A and B are shown apart, each in its own frame.
Chain A
């Protein structure tokens, strides 16, 4: 019985349970709702929950555990001299699974009889399976076929036991909840306890996500450092992956590109964003503010792919026209449209609303009394802003800039399209360079083998990126929170 059929049966049972539970509650109360502890629906839900939840939880566990158990058993059947290392073993195991699945499929389609499937020899299995659309790469060895047969057998037994156990659990839950149903049973409290559990579960997904991110980065990074020395990764000055082997995977050129582009982006976004925020919060009339603020924020709602295309196709060529060969100012600094300057400039545009709306909030949090104090002494508005408001808001603004920096470091699409692909350590902002994020994309979207250092390095890069941005974020959020508390 397949898992989805079991689920359907359990759900049907639960639906029955809802009505039965409700009816029983009403019956024990002699039809008088007032004599029940809870509304009749709660009794129904109680039976429903007890039927579904334990059964499905066990089913999920089973679905995860059964393949692992069987795999371990079957693995031991492969003779040790058949494989050189763990990588080769996993290849054999995937062959085993493929043969076993192929046989199942063949039986299901009626091409092979169930008995024949168990006795089929290693010689004709390839042809027979090709007939049902399962292509096997190489000849099937004796041990692989034996393992596949064993795998099938264990799977079949496991699935059968699974069906029985799950249905029994569902029935037991149903029965227990049904027996407990009575006028005095506190059905609502019971149902609410389960609901609260679900709510807690939903809230914990945030933690699970972080754990998932950390685990997926850590495991693969460890794999990478087994294949490539960490010191060369962190201190290497050259980045030249070659999928044939002999790659040099030093992160420093990528760091430099990331840093340089972020710096230019902040040099664009911070002054513009800050002045815009100051103007909007201190000078602008409500009408101007109501128009200009949302318009600026439109910039924040535009997807990054749009900025990437804008960098690649509009800003890049424009900069080449100015700074390139035969350009408007005749300096020949720039040879191609993709460059640090292109990506940095466009990223700066993207960050303007980010800086301005965060700073706007922070400037508004400076108490009016400060401004009054300064104006009352005969200071002009600009003197008040420069010497009282901005110094008071400084910690918050620094926090906002750090958040923007973390955005810039983690931004992907603009640099993938606008910055170029060459990892270079250069000072010229019109050179093409590349970043950590761009290299994560290029190392993982190729056809590389996941076990090679050239692909695994992406996880080490991701780990580095995650640690840096997380550090920046935590620090920045802490500063901003401290700042807010000061004026609350």
Chain B
């Protein structure tokens, strides 16, 4: 069932987590995503790059069916998670999103305490049997989010009171708390200053040990720093997909080269 992607390099020894085949997305009459085929590996950071409006965020939102919340949006083609079609009628998007977590562009902590922000996911999914277990999950998630040391003394302070970088790491910890298998990140650093960006990037690299991470980014340097695989989108098409080092040093498609050298963007 694993066809080799048309544009990418050969698949290496890692497992394939997500397979997309002939995905089309329409917003009303606009054809936003055209014929995208891609295979995303487990325990890898995959970066989506491309100019604004190229469809990379739209495609990302297809992977956990966040586009369902937009009335005029329509998705065709197959997206398989561990070989199961996530657009199958029997699939409940709620259950899917528990497996495929998401972190957004702007940090969006809930207007609750830090503890309740993290505990929110485990509570709704019933992951903890009692308070002690929940405490354990919160601590573990905050550690994984690399923010435990900063907030352990004020777990019951509001999450909105943190700095921007801390808020984003809190949101990552919140997403991790539900034990997803895939973590989608939609430009997670675009609202952060360089120092906070550095911390979040370091965190992303660590998350690779446990999750398959897909990150949309505007910054080519960021893609080069954090990702192992890179996909370049342009005008709704997936132009090129491959090892990050290969895409940045030896792009095959002239459009990729133009983008990387700064001629389009």
- Tell me if A376 and B64 are in contact (CB < 8 A): yes
Q: Does B111 contact A (CB under 8 A)?
A: yes
Q: Cβ of A376: which chain B residues have Cβ within 8 Å of it?
A: 64, 66, 97, 101-104, 175
Known pairs A377-B174, A379-B94; A370 contacts B110 (CB<8 A):
yes
Identify B104's interface contact among A369, A379, A383, CB under 8 A.
A369
Within 8 A of B (CB), among A387-425: 387-388, 391-392
Q: Does B171 contact A (CB under 8 A)?
A: yes
Shortest Cβ distance from A286 into B: residue: B71
| Closest beta carbon of chain B to A289's beta carbon, Å | 11
Q: Cβ of B99: which chain A residues have Cβ within 8 Å of it?
A: 378
- Tell me if A373 and B108 are in contact (CB < 8 A): yes
Identify A369's interface contact among B66, B108, B175, B178, CB under 8 A.
B108
| Closest beta carbon of chain B to A54's beta carbon, Å | 59
Q: Does B125 contact A (CB under 8 A)?
A: yes
Q: Cβ of A197: which chain B residues have Cβ within 8 Å of it?
A: none
Q: Does A109 contact B (CB under 8 A)?
A: no
Shortest Cβ distance from B184 into A: residue: A376
- Tell me if A377 and B120 are in contact (CB < 8 A): yes
- Tell me if A373 and B104 are in contact (CB < 8 A): yes
Known pairs A378-B94, A378-B97, A379-B124; A392 contacts B111 (CB<8 A):
yes
Q: Does A367 contact B (CB under 8 A)?
A: yes
Q: Does A76 contact B (CB under 8 A)?
A: no
| Closest beta carbon of chain B to A114's beta carbon, Å | 83
Q: Does B98 contact A (CB under 8 A)?
A: yes
Q: Does A372 contact B (CB under 8 A)?
A: yes
- Tell me if B111 and A391 are in contact (CB < 8 A): yes
- Tell me if B108 and A377 are in contact (CB < 8 A): no
Shortest Cβ distance from B69 into A: residue: A375
Q: Does B51 contact A (CB under 8 A)?
A: no
Shortest Cβ distance from A394 into B: residue: B111
Within 8 A of A (CB), among B195-218: none
Q: Does B261 contact A (CB under 8 A)?
A: no
- Tell me if B110 and A374 are in contact (CB < 8 A): yes
Q: Does A72 contact B (CB under 8 A)?
A: no
Contact flags A196-210 to B (C-beta < 8 A → 1, else 0)? 000000000000000
The secondary-structure label for the interface of chain A is helix
Identify B110's interface contact among A285, A286, A392, CB under 8 A.
A392
Q: Cβ of A383: which chain B residues have Cβ within 8 Å of it?
A: 124
| Closest beta carbon of chain A to B185's beta carbon, Å | 11
Shortest Cβ distance from A391 into B: residue: B111
Bound form: Cα–Cα A371–B102 in Å: 12
Known pairs A369-B106, A373-B108, A392-B110; A378 contacts B124 (CB<8 A):
yes
Within 8 A of A (CB), among B156-178: 171, 174-175, 178
Size category of the binding interface on chain B: 20 to 34
Q: Does A380 contact B (CB under 8 A)?
A: yes
| Closest beta carbon of chain B to A278's beta carbon, Å | 16
| Closest beta carbon of chain B to A145's beta carbon, Å | 79
Q: Cβ of A378: which chain B residues have Cβ within 8 Å of it?
A: 94-99, 101, 121, 124-125, 178
Count residues of chain A with CB under 8 A from any CB of chain B.
20
- Tell me if B104 and A377 are in contact (CB < 8 A): no
- Tell me if A377 and B124 are in contact (CB < 8 A): yes
Q: Does B112 contact A (CB under 8 A)?
A: yes
- Tell me if B124 and A373 are in contact (CB < 8 A): no
| Closest beta carbon of chain A to B81's beta carbon, Å | 14
Known pairs A378-B94, A378-B97; A373 contacts B125 (CB<8 A):
no
Q: Cβ of B66: which chain A residues have Cβ within 8 Å of it?
A: 372, 375-376
Contact flags A336-377 to B (C-beta < 8 A → 1, else 0)? 000000000000000000000000000000010111111111
Contact flags B171-193 to A (C-beta < 8 A → 1, else 0)? 10011001000000000000000
Shortest Cβ distance from B98 into A: residue: A378
- Tell me if B71 and A285 are in contact (CB < 8 A): yes
- Tell me if A377 and B121 are in contact (CB < 8 A): yes
- Tell me if A373 and B71 are in contact (CB < 8 A): no
| Closest beta carbon of chain B to A485's beta carbon, Å | 14
Most buried by B among A286, A375, A378, A387: A378
Q: Cβ of B101: which chain A residues have Cβ within 8 Å of it?
A: 376-378
- Tell me if B69 and A373 are in contact (CB < 8 A): no
- Tell me if A372 and B98 are in contact (CB < 8 A): no
| Closest beta carbon of chain B to A440's beta carbon, Å | 42
| Closest beta carbon of chain A to B187's beta carbon, Å | 13
Q: Cβ of A286: which chain B residues have Cβ within 8 Å of it?
A: 71
| Closest beta carbon of chain A to B131's beta carbon, Å | 18
Q: Cβ of A369: which chain B residues have Cβ within 8 Å of it?
A: 104, 106, 108
Q: Cβ of A392: which chain B residues have Cβ within 8 Å of it?
A: 110-111
Bound form: Cα–Cα A379–B96 in Å: 10
Most buried by A among B64, B104, B108, B178: B108
Most buried by A among B95, B111, B125: B111
Bound form: Cα–Cα A378–B108 in Å: 15
| Closest beta carbon of chain B to A208's beta carbon, Å | 42
Q: Cβ of A387: which chain B residues have Cβ within 8 Å of it?
A: 110, 120, 124
Bound form: Cα–Cα A367–B171 in Å: 16
| Closest beta carbon of chain B to A416's beta carbon, Å | 43
Shortest Cβ distance from B105 into A: residue: A369
Q: Cβ of A367: which chain B residues have Cβ within 8 Å of it?
A: 108
| Closest beta carbon of chain B to A365's beta carbon, Å | 13
Within 8 A of B (CB), among A249-293: 285-286
Identify A373's interface contact among B64, B94, B98, B171, CB under 8 A.
B171
Closest 8 CB pairs of A and B: A378-B98, A376-B102, A378-B97, A369-B108, A373-B108, A377-B121, A392-B111, A379-B124
Sample (25) of A-B pairs whose CB atoms are under 8 Å apart = A285-B71, A367-B108, A369-B106, A369-B108, A370-B110, A372-B66, A372-B69, A372-B102, A373-B104, A373-B108, A376-B97, A376-B175, A377-B98, A377-B178, A378-B95, A378-B96, A378-B97, A378-B125, A378-B178, A380-B124, A387-B120, A387-B124, A388-B120, A391-B111, A391-B112
Taking A376-B66, A378-B98 as known contacts, 8 extra A-B pairs with beta carbons closer than 8 A to each other, sorted by chain A number, are A370-B110, A372-B102, A372-B104, A373-B109, A374-B120, A377-B97, A377-B98, A378-B121
Chain A interface residues (CB < 8 Å from chain B): 285-286, 367, 369-380, 383, 387-388, 391-392
